[in-house]
Amino acid sequence: MNFFLKVLFTLFPLVVIGQGYYNRENFGNRSVLLSGNVTGSVEDLGLTYYNPARIALVESPIFTINAKAYEFSTLKLKNVFGRNEELDNSNFNGVPSLVAGTFTIDKWENHDFAYSLITKLRSNKSLNFLKNLKPEELEDSFKEIEGFNAELNSNNKETDEWFGVTWGTKIKDNLSVGVSAFASVYNFKNKFNLDYTSLDQLQNVILFNNEIRMQQTSYGMFWKVGLAWKLKKIELGLNIDLPYLEVYNKGKFRFQKYLSGTENDQFRFIDFKDIKSQRKEPLGISIGAGIPIGKYIIHTKIDWHGKLSEYDRLIIPVVDSIYKRFSFKEERRSVINFGIGGEYYLNEKWNLYGSISTDFSPLKSNANIFDLIGDDDNEDVNFESNFYHFGLGVNLNMKKVKLIIGSTFTTGTDKFDQPFDFSESAIDFPINDEPSSILINRWQFVIGLELPIFGYNLEFK
């Protein structure tokens, strides 16, 4: 394995970190600031996601716009490339995450409804690496090389848009049930490209290109079933996330590998435009409570997500013995997360919020580009950072508008061994055998509005 692929393996977190986690994003204005600890006490229209049974407790129709006005994330790697040095990467963007409203249906007086549009996932991460080497930078065994250029590009894009309808009704005055049905439109694209150009002392040029492109599209349904109890001194909630029901799937895969200017020139190309793919999400159960204490409300939650046995996300056919068997597999362990949040009523106009929650990694093996470009004897390269989410903000209650302003902070760190022995590299530098470390931080600055004027009634004649 050459040095530049080692670079890509070392920078792997830049393009895939955060995939597969269950609590990375939260939805609903107050629910965001409470870090999603609202299964039993959600009051905003994040209830369509956290517990649909709570809709029966909404007193009046409201329209919600929940926006992450700005998001700033940083990733830092220490002791990379076998040396005691650091690499930093940062991103700045803003993405709306939830638009929702309630409505009623004529003659169904005891039933409540809501619609919601959720950006469940939107990620676009790129890695570009360019290296020009001079003869003096190479070891003695490579002194016949006059020049060497290499360029490496990798792009990982993933989106998941949810379109949902929520129904809820009261079974008793203090007990309600509800269901949310979400249509999911999921797209995953990954591109890897590696180019070499070298010039020897006889002015012979060697060219190498290795490119892999893949795409996975999945349409399906997510169902959430909820129960909510409202007692004198506590509010309780139960939410069940049913496994993903896939309705449509399609995959694409392209591989090319060219080498010219040597005694062993190569030309390999395959292009599959309609291959089988799979997307799986496991069963999840969340239990939560809201506990009023004077001017405070304590929000707590614990959730469990089941495991996924190893499966092929893309089923790439075997062409012949020239091409190795490409695999693109994923496996998840079961995981339990928990959190706590606090709400303080300062006065009639101002509420204060604070929270913390966990987001432990469920990944045992993560389908990624290295399943396709690595040699058979390569180690698995999986980064299993555990994340912690913090929220802090205020709610301003005006006559007709509720304005929520705050921020959230996410952090995670992990250590991992260098996936290769860099002492075998063609580049001569002192080697540090200490483990590498990764630190991920993310700030979100949230602005949200709740307007009572967008509720409406549907009449069936």
Express each pLDDT in 57-81 by its tens digit.
876 656 666 655 567 777 676 766 5
* Residue among 332, 348, 256, 365 at smallest CA distance from 295: 348
Q: How many C-beta neighbours within 10 Å does residue 339 have?
A: 25
All domains of the chain in start order, with CATH = 3-458 (2.40.160.60)
The Cα–Cα gap between 40 and 285 comes to 12
pLDDT tens-digit series, residues 400-427: 778 888 999 999 887 765 544 444 444 4
Measured torsion, CA atoms of residues 399, 97, 161, 181, in degrees rounded to the nearest 10: -50
Average pLDDT, the chain: 80
Mean pLDDT value across residues 265-294? 93
**Residue 299 in this model has a pLDDT that exceeds 70:** yes
Q: What pLDDT band is residue 87 in, cutting at 50, 70 and 90?
A: low
**248: nearest Cα among 187, 189, 309, 305:** 187
Per-residue pLDDT, 333: 93
Q: CB neighbours of 374 closer than 8 A, spacing ≥ 6?
A: 1, 5, 9
Amino acid at 397: N
Only one residue has tokens 């894009």, namely 157
Residue 433 near residue 48, CB atoms below 8 Å:
no
Question: Residue 106: helix, strand or coil by DSSP?
Answer: coil
Q: What is the SS3 assignment for 55?
A: helix
pLDDT tens digits for range 24-44: 888 888 888 999 999 999 988
